[in-house]
Amino acid sequence: MKLLLTSIGICNDTLDRELESLVGKSKLDIKIGVVCTAGLVEGGSKDVFLDSMNNLRKYGYRWIDIMDISNPNHDWKSRLSQCDVIYVSGGNTFFLMDQCRKVGFDQWLKDNIENHVYVGVSAGSITVGKSVEIATVEPADDNFVGMADFTGMGLVPFNLSPHSPDMVSYESNEEYQKKDGGVLYAYDEQSAVKVEGDSTEIVGGGKIFSL
């Protein structure tokens, strides 16, 4: 299993090198399938999503498909199956987790993760952990879906707090983890958590909270 769990995507040379290394291909040959679902549900500027797409182009990735798993007209299973990278972008964490359950993306990903490299951006990173409840920490996502079961996909046995301390303070992360227990990876916007087989490390700046 290979994952690169970021805050804002492939935003610097280090993360670019890590992704290319995880895939094991030249970036000119890498096919990326972008799941944009989390960012579509709320209005306002889509500059963060556009910046992440522009960065992929900036770093030389040329084959990029974009799809919404909540759209019944998008055959995301077959489209993602042909991709090397499954790139799940940010937005509303609770909506994304809710849709992953409803359309079966969570189970499909568990069944197919060994054939792909997973890149998470913000909400796309949080959802693969044990719990998405970290998204209730200020500045909290709007839980407009009324989610009461905060169980994440559980691809990794820990929780993730991107944008730390850029948006979420280390103090807030520590208080949350005292309540939740286990292990929490908190990392900044230029960093990522890299998972490769049994190895997990923060690439760049961050802290690990554990109880």
The pLDDT of residue 211: 46
List of residues 6+ apart from 55 with CB closer than 8 A: 9, 10, 11
Q: pTM of the predicted model, to two decimals?
A: 0.96
Closest to 185 measured CA to CA, from 54, 2, 5, 52 = 5
The pLDDT of residue 171: 94
pLDDT along the chain (211 residues), means of 10: 97 96 96 97 92 97 98 97 98 98 98 98 98 95 97 97 94 90 93 96 85 46
Angle between helices 105-112 and 93-103 (to 10 degrees): 80
The pLDDT of residue 46: 93
Which domains, and CATH codes, for the chain?
2-210 (3.40.50.880)
The pLDDT of residue 65: 98
The conformational region for residue 138 under phi > 0 = left, psi -120 to 50 = alpha, else beta, is beta
> The tokens 């087989």 sit on which residue?
197
> The tokens 């900044």 sit on which residue?
188
